Amino acid sequence: MIPYGRQDVSDEDVQAVVEVLRSSHLTQGPAIERFEAAVAETTGARHAVALANGTAGLHLACLGLDLGPGKRLWTVPNTFVASANCALYCGAEVDFVDVEPRTWDLDPQALATKLEVAARAGTLPDVVVPVHFGGRPAPSAAIAELAETYDFAVLEDATHAIGAREADGPIGACAHSVAAVFSFHPVKIVTTGEGGVVTTNDDELAARLRRLRTHGITRDPGEMERAPEGAWAYDQVELGYNYRLTDLQAALGTSQLARLEAFVERRAELAARYDRLLADLPLERPAPLAPGTRSSWHLYVVLVPEPKERAAIFGALREAGIGVNVHYTPVHLQPLYRDRGFSPGDFPVAEAYAERALTLPLFPGLREDEQDFVVETLRRLVG
């Protein structure tokens, strides 16, 4: 089966992990700081905090932004459940904003309209989580302007988007947000097995995330409630978690990051090749990127002509050994969220998109003959 996404692990990556295995620290060692410094350098953010996975990053960032009971988080329906679940972990409410029909990213117009209504009803959000869907930069400047007017925090779900750029700088620089969350799951651009990073320019938030990832414990005398009795002393000042990344994972991540440019360039070449080869088929392809921006090309999604044909096309491609996928079933239609009051029709653009969406294989190691086979198989089905 040709998967829709797959990691690219080199001999250097293996060597980097082996070196950690033979070192004194398998976790809580120096490889973490090196990885964090590499992510900070790549993104241009002041701080990068390494965590067990992207979901932990979303959870801790929400806690760091004081999300809790009585507070609200808004995100898009066209995302993985983790973008919304992070609010529920904190006891906050979730609502959604529909996506834009061509970019499949948060629609700033829909956000503006929903904010106007919420302002009158007294139900404005505390945190809004745009998702850089498939690696395409979301309209961050427009969202930031609304954040200014309506006083909410922007937390970027950048889990698809390491290596992507907005017109004014890399995703993760947090030019238009409080923080950005990356994932290093093997299907994403760069991998650590499981892993995540939160980037931020906010010193206090970064310190809070570092404390929350290790039980809410501090060894910083400045954060302790009483003078430490000795070098052994630590204070638990709040309830945190064990959301640490290991040094094995961090070393893999640093080694992988060195190839980020090559990964993104190869993904972009293959995406452009899909664009050419699929041009004469009745499929909606990803919209052109906004000038000056770059996608990390996590996903290459096409929309089939008719919703009712999608299952058959999907099945035939899988039958042919092509691991197509669907990103995403709208989160508000998941049983957990239906039980919380959402129903079909609530977010029509995301729903219409999801009924026709098909994610084609795209990863740096995808061979051109494999890609040709995907295209020819699709041609037989929809041509």
Ligand X SMILES: *Cc1c(COP(=O)(O)O)cnc(C)c1O
Q: Which residues are catalytic?
A: 188
Q: How would you classify residue 319: left for phi > 0, otherwise alpha for psi between -120 and 50, otherwise beta?
A: alpha
Interacting span for ligand X (CB under 6 A) from 51-59, 142-150, 243-251, 259-267:
51-59
CB of 325 vs ligand X, minimal distance in Å: 12
- Shorter beta-carbon distance to ligand X: residue 52 or 322: 52
First to last CA, the chain: 23
Among residues 43, 75, 79, 256, the one that binds ligand X under rule CB under 6 A: 79
Complex with ligand X: residue 42 or 159, whichever CB lies closer = 159
Report the residue number, 137 or 196, with the smaller CB distance to ligand X. Answer: 196
Q: Is 159 in the site for ligand X (CB under 6 A)?
A: yes
DSSP for 72-93?
EEEE-SSS-THHHHHHHHTT-E
Nearest to ligand X of 83, 199 (CB atom): 83
Minimum CB–partner distance for residue 299 and ligand X (Å)? 9
- Our finding on whether 325 is near ligand X (CB under 6 A) is no
- Does residue 17 touch ligand X according to CB under 6 A? no
Q: Cα(124)–Cα(72) distance, rounded to whole angstroms?
A: 7
299 Cβ contact partners less than 8 Å away, ≥ 6 residues apart: 4, 5, 133, 134, 135, 160, 327, 359, 362
Q: Which amino acid is at 262?
A: A
Contact criterion met (CB below 8 Å) for 106 and 99: yes
Structure token digits, residue 341: 């009051």
Phi and psi dihedrals of 280, rounded to 5? -95, 5
The Cα–Cα gap between 330 and 347 comes to 9
Q: Can you say how many angstroms the Cα of residue 85 is from the centroid of all Cα atoms in its chain?
A: 13
Using CB under 6 A as the binding criterion, the count of chain residues that bind ligand X stands at 14
Choose which of 7, 55, 256, 371 interacts with ligand X (CB under 6 A): 55
Residue 133 beta carbon to ligand X: minimum distance, rounded to whole angstroms: 8
- 54 binds ligand X, rule: CB under 6 A: yes
**Cβ distance to ligand X smaller for residue 75 or 218:** 75
Distance CA 317, CA 296 (A): 25
Tell me: does residue 253 bind ligand X (CB under 6 A). no
Footprint of ligand X on this chain (CB under 6 A)? 53-55, 79-80, 82-83, 131, 157, 159-160, 183, 185, 196
